[in-house]
Chain A
Amino acid sequence: MVISAPAARLSRRRVLGGAFAIAAGATALAACDSHGSSGSAGVLNVWGGVPEDSGPGDMIAAFEKANPGIKVKYTRYVNDPTGNLKLDTALQGGVPIDVIFNYGPPKVSKRVAAGLLVDLSEKIAAESSFAKFAAGATPRANYVFDGKVYTVPAARSPQLVMANADLLDKAGIEIPADWDVEDYHRIAKQLTVGSVNGSLGSPAIGVPTLGPDANYTKGGQGSNFAAAAWRKQVELGVEMQNDRSAVPHKTVLAQKLQTFAQNAFLGGQFAMLSTQAFLVRYISDTKQYPHSFKVRAYPVPAPVKGKAYWNPGAYGDLMSISAKSSQKDAAWTFLKYWVTNAGAYMIKGGRLPSLPDPAKKADAISQLLGPDMTKLYDVDSFGAVLFDPAIKIPVDTIFTASTEIADLQTKLNDQAYLGSISVDQWVQRMTAQSDAAIRKAS
């Protein structure tokens, strides 16, 4: 008995519990930096990914003026794996956080499953201006988890094609408003002259054709990469690599153009790219990115001419309230203010509001494109594309193994575009490996 007693005290459960307590303490300490240490009443702690001087600073100043009883402390975290881990450990470790900006529904999905976010369904339902963000809204404009809503999107980020107007004019190319992916390929070939490539990459076909939950079949039980639309997308990408109408993929990887496309675009390395409005931050910054050409905007090309399609953009800047917040009412007041007023303060940083005011379309465009807009942009084209009422943004509902699937897609796309696997192998591997990831996560 005397011998067995200590063994009983040092049970497996106790050892594990102790180790986790220590690990959790360590991660909480690590996350507890100078920004997160304040938790005093009346100070809302907000964690977001946008640099403070790109809009959040002005937005917060305006909010504090309108709500004198509430102070806001904004902490910027970088939206990468390390930054998100820092946020998640801070949320778990008890660092005072009231409002969180989530970037991508898979992140929300994980945080919802862990009980870290407040169910906002009732509050959204009670707010008439938020009707489009309710769980049952049609068309869907928000992410729903088991019938409940935990976020309100503050930004709407449709994709658009931006093009170097000088190169288009020099080649005498008129892009039709109803162009399709074949037109895009043909025009990219025409624009490929000498060391200049027609396009950064190839246009999307999978999501525009398949819409929400394009990656899944059987309600999320299987993957959908055997669908013809995905095959066509990869085939087109490979074709554009082979005829050099797209920037060679090894150059994309070597120059990290998937992240830093602006450098090469404004340096005249290629003529067209599919992107989002945030790119205007760089286009308008002629000191850092000197260039003499105007940029023109076009809608993303249709998979099939004349047939309706989805825009492969997203609703973003998903605002949530931490379940551990001690100031949930103040946090909701802040969230509501931000979403409602995002148009006034966030557009200059390239973030279009999720609640656009059609009456202020001209103001929004001039804020977005800045004081030199007539010199740097084909202004009308941006207005027509970004505020096109026909744009349909798909809102996913299934997120099983979505991070793993996105990672697989990047890796296998690299291999296909570098020519080390065939399109058939892409389809076969993407399907098999995504199915395995879904099985593992289910």
Chain B
Amino acid sequence: MTNVIVKSAPAVVQRRPARSRRIPTRVGWLFIAPNLLGFLAFTLIPLVAGLAIAFTDWNVVSGLGAVHFVGLDNFAELLGDPLFWTSALRTAGYAGISVPGTMLLGLLLGLALNSDVPGRAALRAIFFIPHIVSSIAIGMVWLLLLGPENGPINRILQGLGVSSPPGWLVSEVWGLPSLVLIVTWSGVGYCAVIYVAALQSMPPSLHEAALLDGAGPFARFRTVTWRSLMPTTTFLGVTMLISHSQGFGLIAFLTQGGPGDSTTVLSYYMYEQGFQFYRFGYAAAIGIMSFLGVLVLSVVMWRFQRGRGLYT
């Protein structure tokens, strides 16, 4: 009996998994097919095409017959293009101020909303609204608020005795700071909600243990809260860095890169080269350089947080 069982068992084991593996695999492919096809059509293929286009002088009007492989010419031209470098610097300034600014204000707001304030659920919803409103609607509101002559903000400033208030979005000096202000304002609520979720999932025992050890409020924040929030902070930092460095909608609507070139960041410069001047190869090269910059910074941020969190 024992021998029979031992001999027959492998045969059964071999047949059953083979059949059962095949069916779920097919069904599994079927289930993921819509998503996979979408990913292939709208992400992977455009990505590969974009990469290929960067090495050509493709002009959409001239069609595929007029495509020339130009090697690294587009990248070489970028290196000597002063507008590319100033746009890259502006992008660094724009994202470099708006991302930490949004996160810091979001953290403070999150801490406030996590405390026992009356109506905090409603407050969280209110602060989250700018994140779900379209960038054009946000732009319209800020366009009115920041009007150089009749905007309410400048009227208040004039009332306070400022004789020549800033031109905001139509000033070469204030254009970029105005955009930073708007993008920061629209992102704070989102950061706050994410931070609140992280704060609420934090084990209370950590704070209790710190209290028993005699830690004060600042020491508890530094050693427990902040370190517990490290993964959330990294997640927000990376995702916001990506979205802010690609920020296009607000700039296209509010300033169109001007006055002059004062608010031309890389994403707008890429749009201008591609869609206005039809230099798709050059625009794709700008896109790749921008992608590489964001990738390097994201990896640095990711590696920086490793081992610094309390329970990562």
Instruction: Decide: B147 and A254 in contact? CB cutoff 8 A.
Output: yes
- How far is B275's CA from A318's CA once the two chains are assembled, in angstroms? 21
Interfacial chain B residues near A253, Cβ < 8 Å:
169-170, 258-259
B129 at the interface (CB under 8 A from A): no
Stretch in B59-67, B208-216, B236-244 touching the partner: B59-67
Interfacial chain B residues near A5, Cβ < 8 Å:
none
Instruction: Decide: A254 and B259 in contact? CB cutoff 8 A.
Output: no
A88 at the interface (CB under 8 A from B): yes
Q: Which residue of A lies closest to B42 (CB)?
A: A26
Interfacial chain A residues near B172, Cβ < 8 Å:
415, 418, 420
B160 at the interface (CB under 8 A from A): no
A251 at the interface (CB under 8 A from B): yes
A3 at the interface (CB under 8 A from B): no
Interfacial chain A residues near B53, Cβ < 8 Å:
19-20, 23
Instruction: Decide: B258 and A16 in contact? CB cutoff 8 A.
Output: no
- How far is B277's CA from A404's CA once the two chains are assembled, in angstroms? 7
Interfacial chain B residues near A13, Cβ < 8 Å:
69
Interfacial chain B residues near A82, Cβ < 8 Å:
275
Instruction: Decide: B46 and A254 in contact? CB cutoff 8 A.
Output: no
Q: Which residue of A lies closest to B40 (CB)?
A: A22
- How far is B58's CA from A13's CA once the two chains are assembled, in angstroms? 14
B135 at the interface (CB under 8 A from A): no
Instruction: Decide: B148 and A16 in contact? CB cutoff 8 A.
Output: no
Residues from 152 to 201 in A contacting B, C-beta threshold 8 Å: none
A2 at the interface (CB under 8 A from B): no
Q: Which of A12, A22, A114, A404 sits near B66, CB closer than 8 Å?
A: A114
Instruction: Decide: A407 and B62 in contact? CB cutoff 8 A.
Output: no
- Contact (A26, B41) CB under 8 Å given A16-B52, A20-B49: yes
Q: Which residue of B lies closest to A412 (CB)?
A: B260
- How far is B165's CA from A254's CA once the two chains are assembled, in angstroms? 15
Instruction: Decide: B276 and A81 in contact? CB cutoff 8 A.
Output: yes
Q: Which residue of A lies closest to B146 (CB)?
A: A254
- How far is B154's CA from A250's CA once the two chains are assembled, in angstroms? 13
Instruction: Decide: A420 and B260 in contact? CB cutoff 8 A.
Output: yes
Interfacial chain A residues near B59, Cβ < 8 Å:
110, 114
* Cβ contacts A3-24/B at 8 Å (1 or 0 each): 0000000001101100111111
Instruction: Decide: B55 and A16 in contact? CB cutoff 8 A.
Output: yes
- Contact (A20, B259) CB under 8 Å given A15-B52, A110-B278, A254-B169: no
- Contact (A251, B148) CB under 8 Å given A16-B56, A23-B53, A418-B171: yes
Count of A interface residues, CB-CB < 8 Å: 41
Residues from 216 to 253 in A contacting B, C-beta threshold 8 Å: 248-251, 253
A123 at the interface (CB under 8 A from B): no
- Contact (A12, B149) CB under 8 Å given A20-B64, A253-B259: no
A111 at the interface (CB under 8 A from B): yes
- How far is B278's CA from A420's CA once the two chains are assembled, in angstroms? 29
Instruction: Decide: A414 and B66 in contact? CB cutoff 8 A.
Output: no
Instruction: Decide: B60 and A92 in contact? CB cutoff 8 A.
Output: yes
* Cβ contacts A46-84/B at 8 Å (1 or 0 each): 000000000000000000000000000000000001100
Q: Which residue of B lies closest to A27 (CB)?
A: B60
B130 at the interface (CB under 8 A from A): no
Residues from 52 to 85 in B contacting A, C-beta threshold 8 Å: 52-53, 55-56, 58-64, 66-67, 69
Instruction: Decide: B49 and A22 in contact? CB cutoff 8 A.
Output: yes
Instruction: Decide: B171 and A250 in contact? CB cutoff 8 A.
Output: yes
- How far is B64's CA from A113's CA once the two chains are assembled, in angstroms? 14
Q: Which of B46, B52, B143, B148 sits near A20, CB closer than 8 Å?
A: B52
Interfacial chain B residues near A115, Cβ < 8 Å:
63
* Cβ contacts A88-120/B at 8 Å (1 or 0 each): 110110000000000000000011011110000
Q: How large is the interface on B (under 10, 10 to 19, 20 to 34, 35 or more residues)?
A: 35 or more
CB distance from A412 to the nearest CB of B (A): 7
B11 at the interface (CB under 8 A from A): no
Instruction: Decide: A407 and B272 in contact? CB cutoff 8 A.
Output: yes
CB distance from B177 to the nearest CB of A (A): 16
Instruction: Decide: B259 and A23 in contact? CB cutoff 8 A.
Output: no
CB distance from A278 to the nearest CB of B (A): 22
Interfacial chain B residues near A12, Cβ < 8 Å:
69
Interfacial chain B residues near A404, Cβ < 8 Å:
277
Q: Which residue of B lies closest to A255 (CB)?
A: B147
A85 at the interface (CB under 8 A from B): yes
- How far is B46's CA from A116's CA once the two chains are assembled, in angstroms? 25
- How far is B61's CA from A371's CA once the two chains are assembled, in angstroms? 44
Interfacial chain A residues near B56, Cβ < 8 Å:
16
A292 at the interface (CB under 8 A from B): no
Interfacial chain B residues near A24, Cβ < 8 Å:
63-64
Residues from 166 to 210 in B contacting A, C-beta threshold 8 Å: 167, 169-172
- How far is B305's CA from A306's CA once the two chains are assembled, in angstroms? 76
Interfacial chain B residues near A375, Cβ < 8 Å:
none
Interfacial chain A residues near B66, Cβ < 8 Å:
114
CB distance from A82 to the nearest CB of B (A): 7
Interfacial chain B residues near A37, Cβ < 8 Å:
none
B123 at the interface (CB under 8 A from A): no
* Cβ contacts B235-256/A at 8 Å (1 or 0 each): 0000000000000000000000
- How far is B67's CA from A113's CA once the two chains are assembled, in angstroms? 14
Interfacial chain A residues near B49, Cβ < 8 Å:
19-20, 22-23, 26
Q: Which residue of A lies closest to B71 (CB)?
A: A12
Instruction: Decide: A254 and B260 in contact? CB cutoff 8 A.
Output: no
Instruction: Decide: B61 and A403 in contact? CB cutoff 8 A.
Output: no
Interfacial chain B residues near A81, Cβ < 8 Å:
275-276
Interfacial chain B residues near A412, Cβ < 8 Å:
260
Interfacial chain A residues near B259, Cβ < 8 Å:
253, 411, 414-415, 418, 420
B300 at the interface (CB under 8 A from A): no
B45 at the interface (CB under 8 A from A): yes
B1 at the interface (CB under 8 A from A): no
Q: Which of A19, A114, A249, A418 sits near B52, CB closer than 8 Å?
A: A19
Interface residues of B, Cβ cutoff 8 Å to A: 41, 45-46, 48-49, 51-53, 55-56, 58-64, 66-67, 69, 143, 147-149, 167, 169-172, 258-261, 272, 275-278
Interface residues of A, Cβ cutoff 8 Å to B: 12-13, 15-16, 19-24, 26-27, 81-82, 85, 88-89, 91-92, 110-111, 113-116, 248-251, 253-254, 403-404, 407, 410-412, 414-415, 418, 420
The 6 residue pairs across chains A and B that have the minimum distance between CB atoms: A19-B52, A23-B49, A253-B170, A250-B170, A414-B259, A114-B62
Beyond known contacts A254-B149, A414-B260: 8 more, CB 8 A cutoff = A16-B69, A20-B53, A20-B58, A114-B59, A114-B63, A251-B148, A251-B149, A253-B170
13 inter-chain pairs at a CB distance below 8 angstroms, sorted by A residue, are A15-B52, A20-B52, A20-B58, A22-B45, A23-B53, A26-B46, A91-B61, A92-B63, A92-B64, A110-B59, A253-B170, A410-B258, A420-B172
